[in-house]
Structure 1
Amino acid sequence: MNSGVSVSAAVDELALGETFTFDELVAAVQRRRQRRLRIVELTDLSDRNGLCAVLLSTNAEDLIVHARTDSVLHRQQFVLHELAHMILGHEIDADPDGPDFLLPDIPAETRRRLLRRQNLDTAEEVLAETLADHLAAAIRGSAQQSSRYQEIFG
């Protein structure tokens, strides 16, 4: 699969145009997924811990939890990467033999996604990062500066 075509198709499906604000992107993702999306920074988590961000999903809402970093662009990329997985419809593989003893308080689907994220060379991860880069460029190109983007990314 050509990642450029997939990324273009994913962006086109959002119907946001060539430039958009962070708020417009979040609203489009919420509409598409038909559920609320919350974005939360965990101040005790650092990108130095090896976990930059994770997407948690329930039947009612999606939650992107991201690590604290002093770099605005780095934080943006954490969140946009997770949004890209949502936009691309990347699903969690069912693996009944997942290591539940490592993280017993975290649902099995979330554990599998966390552990799978350590391999950043998969086609799914490369595609998500490509889309995140495209989204970042579109947001930077937006003329509107006052939005939740400033609240989240400083």
Structure 2
Amino acid sequence: MNKDVSVSTAVDELDLGDNFTFDQLVGAVQRSRRRRLRIVELADLGDQDGLCAVWLVADGEDLILHASSDSALHRQQFVLHELAHMILGHDANHDPEAPDFLLPDIPPQIRARLLRRQDLDTAEEVIAETLADRLAAAIRGSAMHNSRYLETFG
């Protein structure tokens, strides 16, 4: 997908329906990208440290590193935001010319993404968060459907 794709189109292209589990979403992203995806919590990193999560593209796999949080929903949102960047194809838009004197051992694509993280009001960040919210709603819908919540509480 490219950055101009709408959130609705992105969700439709996942072909998961209106409600799905987190694991089904991860599987769909792996199939779409034809790459393994690992999600790792960094216990020493907290959401108060300013970096909630980062997506790294490695040889043969994608890796999402995320901060710890007391809230499972908060941790899930960190990961969903990074999954949204993958789904929207934002990795294709890195600036390979980002300065290398600060982080010389980090590949240019990753360096550019890390250095951009301070500007959370960019179009890419806003649409990624919008898609993450939509994915979270679908996951909650799946949980409620599977738990008979709607049947019980209407």
Number of positions where the alignment pairs a residue of Structure 1 with one of Structure 2? 141
Kindly provide the CA deviation profile for residues 65-118 of structure 1, in whole angstroms up to 9, marking residues without a partner as x: 00111111211110000000000111242332x232322332221111011121
Q: Does 1:93 align with 2:94?
A: yes
Bigger Rg, structure 1 or 2: 2
Query: How far apart are the structure 1 equivalents of 2:60 and 2:108?
Result: 18
Gaps of at least 5 residues in structure 2 are: 148-154
Contact 1:52 1:66 in 2 (8 A): yes
Q: Which one-letter code corresponds to 1:102 in the other structure?
A: L
TM-score by length of 2: 0.85
Measured after TM superposition, the shift of residue 144 of structure 1 is 4.3
Identify if the C-alpha distance between structure 1 residues 49 and 99 changes in structure 2 by more than 3 Å, giving closer, same or farther: farther
CA contact (8 A) 1:92 1:112 kept: no
User: 2:44 aligns to what?
Assistant: 44
Secondary structure in 2 matching 1:18: coil
Inter-partner Cα distance in structure 2 for 1:58 and 1:127: 24
Contact 1:21 1:144 in 2 (8 A): no
Tell me which residue corresponds to 1:13. Answer: 13
**Alignment identity in percent?**
72
Structure 2 counterpart of 1:25? 25
Q: Distance in 2 between matches of 1:126 and 1:29?
A: 20
In 2: Cα distance, 1:140 partner to 1:120 partner: 25
